[in-house]
Amino acid sequence: MMHDHSIWISPIWFIAKPRLRITTNALHTREEIDRLVLGMTAVRDLMYKPTISA
């Protein structure tokens, strides 16, 4: 996310599985939040390929 979208996200490690910590506040602009959502969906699309079920 930092390299491709200039967004810092902290990884946190629980016993069962890793998670991401994303912190936002009222000082973030709508454009920044939109960039976050676009970055997250881009990473999701790279990592998880949809499967077609019949």
The set of residues, in sequence order, having a beta carbon less than 8 Å from that of 5 and lying 6+ positions away, is 35, 36, 38, 39, 42
The predicted pLDDT at position 37 comes to 93
State if pTM tops 0.85: no
- Residues 33, 27 contacting (CB under 8 angstroms): no
The predicted pLDDT at position 54 comes to 60
Give per-10-residue mean pLDDT for the chain (54 aa).
86 80 91 92 84 68
The predicted pLDDT at position 18 comes to 79
Residue with tokens 């994303």: 22
The predicted pLDDT at position 32 comes to 92
Q: Distances in Å between the alpha carbon of 4 and those of 11, 16, 18, 23, 35?
A: 17, 28, 21, 18, 11
